[in-house]
Amino acid sequence: MSAASESPSGRKIAILASRVGADEKRLFDACERRGVPFDHVDTRRQWFLAGRREVPWNLALNREIGQVRAVYAARSLAAAGVELVNSAEATEVCGDKWRTTMALEAAQVPAPRTALGLTPQAALDALDSIGYPALIKPLVGSWGRLVARLPDRVSAEGVLEYVAALSGPQSHLGYVQELIDKPDRDIRVIVVGGQVLGAVYRTSESLRTNVALGGQARPCEVTPEIAKLSLDAAAAVGAEIAGVDLIEDQDGRLLVLEVNHRVEFTGFQSALGDRVDVAGLIVDHLRERVQR
């Protein structure tokens, strides 16, 4: 859909997505079952005219997978008077691991010890403080891409030498984090509109437990601690819809590892079955928002 040429058409929802996967199809189906009018907006074809506010949507669900497009689409729609779920601010915070870390720290939400080195050498110094083994992660990215385990200083020197040779100033920033000695699983919790929909364990033989990369999901009991920590994490980053990833240390203490603003829920839905309808509950939240 091209930008700004359509006339306003009532309380219609835009679903922003350049890639239509299983989750987006579930959301489309949930809108149709509930009689909620919506447009699928392919952000690869979307443009905005500065200063023009005539757009045909009151509310937009941001499912754009590309972080840069997601942020600029959100900012542009917000300037045109469209409400965003999640907000542009939440999208920016969740899409940047260091900004997420700072938001969690400001809200006193427990997370692994983390540091940001403004150069590769500074990151190496930070690792000496954090200790080994540790992890180095890209500031922007999903599915655990480019996450590297650093067992000792020698391996860190090798990885950071490679980092120093990358192009682009952001690539030279070193986001490093202590490696938590944990079970071979993490916990994914989905939060929608201040409510916890459920939780699943994600297990894998590798460092990455993402279901999209072959991890397995099974139901996890939502304890009061899991619920509180997940709600606190979503609130800290300002996300109405969030996938909160938790890990357990060897003492059973829960820590927030990540907060996702564009939560993927296929594995979550499969694990919980008919106990929860994630797409339906998201659309119910959108319908409530658009009717305010």
- pLDDT tens, residue by residue, 156-215: 999 999 888 888 888 889 999 999 998 889 999 999 999 999 999 999 765 555 554 456
Residue written as token pair 């990885």? 159
CB contact set of 221 (below 8 Å; sequence gap of 6+) = 199
Sign of the dihedral through C-alpha 23, 27, 29, 30: positive
Q: What is the pLDDT of residue 144?
A: 67
**Domains of the chain, start order:** 13-94 (3.40.50.20), 113-178 (3.30.1490.20), 185-289 (3.30.470.20)
User: Among 2, 71, 3, which residue's Cα sits nearest to residue 262?
Assistant: 71
- Is the model's pLDDT at 80 over the cut of 80? yes
d(C-alpha 3, C-alpha 76), whole Å: 11
How would you class 269 by CB atoms within 10 Å of its CB: exposed for 0-12, middle for 13-18, buried for 19 or more?
A: buried
Q: What is the mean pLDDT of the segment spanning 101-127?
A: 97
Note whether 64 and 43 are within 8 A (CB). yes
Tens digit of pLDDT for each residue in 124-151?
999 999 999 999 999 987 666 789 999 9
Taking CA atoms, 90 is separated from 55, 124, 228, 238, in Å, by: 22, 30, 19, 5
- pTM value is 0.89
CA-angle at 162, arms to 114 and 246, nearest 5°: 30
Q: What are phi and psi of 38, to 5 degrees?
A: -150, 160
Residue written as token pair 């972080």? 67
- Is the model's pLDDT at 116 over the cut of 80? yes
CB contact set of 209 (below 8 Å; sequence gap of 6+) = 185, 186, 202, 203, 215
H-type helices in the chain, by residue range? 22-34, 67-79, 88-94, 97-106, 120-130, 153-164, 224-237, 266-272, 278-290
Q: What is the pLDDT of residue 1?
A: 36
d(C-alpha 208, C-alpha 184), whole Å: 10
How would you class 282 by CB atoms within 10 Å of its CB: exposed for 0-12, middle for 13-18, buried for 19 or more?
A: buried
Buried-state track 202-211, b at ≥16 Cβ within 10 A, e below 16: bebeeeebbb
Could you tell me which residues are beta bridge partners of residue 16?
A: 41, 62
Note whether 237 and 259 are within 8 A (CB). yes
The pairing of strands 174-178 and 216-219 is: unpaired
